[in-house]
Amino acid sequence: MAEYHGQIHLALAGFYDVLAEDGVLYRTRARGNFRKRDMKPLVGDWVIFSAETQHEGYILDIDERKNSLVRPPVANVDQAILVTAVKMPDFSDNLLDRQLVTLEEDQIEPVIYFTKTDLLSPSELAHLEEVAAGYRAAGYDVIVPEKAFDDASLAEVAATFAGKLSVFMGQTGAGKSTLLNHIAPELNLKTGEVSQALSRGRHTTRQVGLLALADGLVADTPGFSSFEVFNMGARDLTHYFRDFNQFSPKCRFRGCVHLNEPGCAVKEAVENGDIMASRYTNYQLFYDLIEGRRPVYNKHDKKH
C-alpha cells in the first residue's frame, strides 16, 4: 500500500480529508493507536498516510506541530485575524493584549481588524486611530475600516493570506462570521450568536475545514479561546510584548522585568509615549495574575 505525505484539510465525523503533496485529495481515517496515545489528528496537521484508493486511507503518523488551538481546533496556524469590536461589546485593550500575548507565545502572527467603527462618533474614531497607531508602532498589522466591511479593508485582510494558514478569532458578537462571509461569500456562515447557541445542542457533528483563499488557507470556522490562562512564567511575560522587546536591550539590568528596577528602558519608553500606557498597565496586571497563581497554603487560616 502506497504511503503519502499531506495536510489535513477537513475533519468530519471521524473522517479526515488529506491533500497530498501531489495535489490529490484522499479521504482517510485515523488508526486506533492514536486514541491509545491520546492523540487526535487536527485540521492543519501534516501527516503520513497510506491509501489504496482516494476513498480508503489511514493516517499512520502526525508530524510535530508548530502549535494548535482548541477553538477552532486547528494545528500549525501561521496567522490570526483578531476581529475586535469597538462597540457592542465595547473595545477592551485588556482583552486585546491578552490575545496578543497568547498568540505571540504560540508563534501566530496577529492581524488586528476593528469592527463596528461606523458606530463611533468622530471624536471616538479619532481616539481609535490613536490606539491603532500605537499598536502599529508596537509592530502589529492593524486595519481600521472607514465603513463596515468596505472593499478596501477586505482587500487588505485578504492580502495577508498568501502562503499562510489563517484563523479568525475574537469575542462573541465581534463579527467574526460576518467578516468571513464578506471575504468568502461561498461559506454562507450563520451569523448571529443566538442562532449559533441554539444550534449547538442539535448538531453534534463538528466540522472544521480549510478553504483556499487568496493563495493561502483559511479555517472556515471562526473561534474564540477565552485567553484567561497564561502558560508562561511571570519573568518570561516580557518576551511576548513585542514593543517592550524594541527597548529592553537598553535596560541597565539583564533580565529586567520592567517593574521596580532602576535604569529600565521600557518604563522610560512608556513615559516618553513610545509605548502605550495601556500596554504597560496590562503588562503589570498580567504579571500580577501569573504571580498570583503560585500556591498559597493555609490561606483560610489567615483570617483568624
Was 174 annotated as part of a binding site?
Answer: yes
Half-sphere exposure of 92 (CA within 13 A, CB side): 11
Q: Is 176 annotated as a binding residue?
A: yes
How is residue 236 written as a grid cell? 518570561
**Tally of residues, the chain:** 304
Measuring CA to CA, how many Å separate 8 from each of 70, 189, 237, 250?
16, 21, 33, 45
Amino acid making up residue 244: F
209 assigned ligand-binding residue: no
Return the CA Rg of the chain: 22
53 is in an annotated binding site: no
258 is in an annotated binding site: yes
- Compute the half-sphere exposure of residue 172: CA atoms within 13 Å on the CB side of its CA: 7
Grid coordinates standing for 302? 489567615
Between the alpha carbon of residue 193 and those of residues 26, 100, 228, 269, the distances in Å are 34, 24, 21, 41
The answer to whether 138 is a known ligand-binding residue is: no
Q: Is 172 annotated as a binding residue?
A: yes
Nearest to 167 by CA among 240, 104, 111, 205: 111
Q: Is 50 annotated as a binding residue?
A: no
Residues 6+ apart with CB under 8 A from 125: 117
State residue 56 phi and psi, 5-degree precision.
-135, 95
Scan for cell 500549525, then name that residue.
76
Residue 177 annotated as part of some ligand binding site: yes
* Residue 55 marked in a binding site: no
Cell of 34: 492514536
Q: Is 175 annotated as a binding residue?
A: yes
Annotated binding site: 115-118, 170-178, 251, 256, 258, 264
Annotated binding site for Zn(2+): 251, 256, 258, 264
Annotated binding site for GTP: 115-118, 170-178
